[in-house]
Amino acid sequence: MAATTSSYSITMRLHTAPDHGIVGAVATAISQAGGIVTAIDVAESSHERLVVDVTCSASDAEHASDLERAVDQVGDVEVYKVSDRTFLLHIGGKIEVTSKVPLRNRDDLSMAYTPGVGRVSRALADNPEDVPRLTVKGNSVAVVTDGSAVLGLGNIGPGAALPVMEGKAALFKRFAGIDAWPICLASQDTDEIVRAVEMIAPGFGGINLEDIAAPRCFEIERRLRESLDIPVFHDDQHGTAIVVLAALTNALRVVRKELASVRVVVSGGGAAGTAIVTLLLAAGVTDVVVVDRAGALSADDEQLSPVHRQLAEATNPRRVRGDLPTVLADADVFIGVSAPGVLKAEWIQDMASDAVVFALANPDPEVDPAEADKYAAVVASGRSDYPNQINNVLAFPGVFRGLLDARASEVTIDMLLRAAEAIALVVKDDELNPNFIIPTVFHPDVPKAVAAAIRGDG
């Protein structure tokens, strides 16, 4: 059975006979059904009955239903109500707007709003360069999506994408003190998206593009970077690339190999794969082969799309052809940003000694990390229930903190390289081992180190 997770956590309200021993029977039933009890609270006790709230974690929605049925079969127990704790957390949304200034009386109002605010607006009309200093623009980011490539859910639309963008905004605030705003656009037309972002840009210090499908995301980012005077950062591309490079830097420290000498296979030539390859090449990797559904991308393949041709021309110097197991032979590193189950664990045996495997497809990776660990020296994934989680949260809060602090107008490759190095160096030599190549997202030094690196003073 798959590991339990708090994202499938439920609370069951039970009506039971007035016997506290039943609580133990309930806990045993949940355990035998593969669940983990995290809390038991007696909400009401009388001579007639007990009202008990039992909170437990399941592995998925079907497993949560199995746990409910297991408890309902315990004698003298009625499952009165079941609450999904993840849905409860989202009721009413996860973010809100609060005022930074007091509004207690007419004196406060006259300065925060009319007539005093008019003086500030007049000053900004005369001196536009002061807008970031005297408004929220200096500490705000627009998190923009069209809902076309949300997590592993695909094209689910802007409304369904809103909880994800809210979560992103909450992470900006929690890890970097940045006010971020979910902008979910009701269009998947490139021209309309570009124009919409251009029109809202005056109110923001940066644009974070999120969950926009390739290849449309490439053109949107390129055009916005050309037209705007604030930084534009596509997190699915560059945030992922930063953290992958940081993790790979430390993984190679573990196995005592150098970036310039390793052979890397990247499974997936979409937005994330393209950005990862670009940053790896900039960092000094010389031998990268990208594999998609049709096999290895090679510049001598006349059937490639324009996007894949451009990627092939920058990679695969040996002109390797073939499917994933063929290309993987003697490779030092596998990086997966593609689809579940595309890598069989036994194929890792054909890789070079002390192989490094990053299986980053979410929520189900290219290979079960536990199986990959039998053959590889270092294994990482996008999951929080295994060691070495590759998580964009390590990058984007600090990146934007640094960009806003520096009043930067663009994002450069050098910034991305410095950010990756900063994350890697948070893991000290005495901490580094195969199961700890990347710091936790809650490490307090990460956003500060990344921000300093982006500013160029780290």
Active site residues: 113, 168
User: Strand, helix or coil at 455?
Assistant: helix
**Which residue in 63, 41, 59, 58 sits closest to 50, CA to CA?**
41
What is the token pair recorded at 203?
Answer: 């109110």
CB of 2 within 8 A of CB of 59? yes
Rounded Cα distance between 293 and 183, Å, is 33
Q: How many CB atoms lie within 10 A of CB 124?
A: 15
Block residue for tokens 């900063």: 422
Give the full edge-to-edge strand order of the sheet including 179-184.
Answer: 179-184, 140-145, 206-209, 232-234
Q: Which strands, in side-by-side order, build the sheet including 77-84?
A: 36-45, 50-58, 5-16, 77-84
Distance between CA atoms of 334 and 263, rounded to whole angstroms?
9
From residue 184, alpha-carbon distances to 85, 118, 130, 209 in Å are 25, 31, 28, 10
From start to end of 59-129, where are the E strands? Answer: 77-84
Q: Are strands 140-145 and 263-267 parallel, antiparallel or unpaired?
A: unpaired
> Got the DSSP string for 320-366?
--S-HHHHHTT-SEEEE-S-TT-S-GGGGGGSPSS-EEEE--SSS-S
The string over 133-158, giving b where at least 16 C-beta atoms fall within 10 Å of a residue's C-beta and e elsewhere, is eebebbbbbbbbbbbbbbeeeeeeeb
- How far is residue 74's CA from residue 25's CA, in Å, rounded to a whole number? 7
Alpha-carbon span 292 to 100, nearest angstrom: 49
Those residues whose C-beta lies under 8 Å from the C-beta of residue 55, and which sit 6 or more positions away, are 9, 10, 11, 12, 37, 38, 39, 40, 85
Q: Which two tokens stand for residue 294?
A: 């049709």
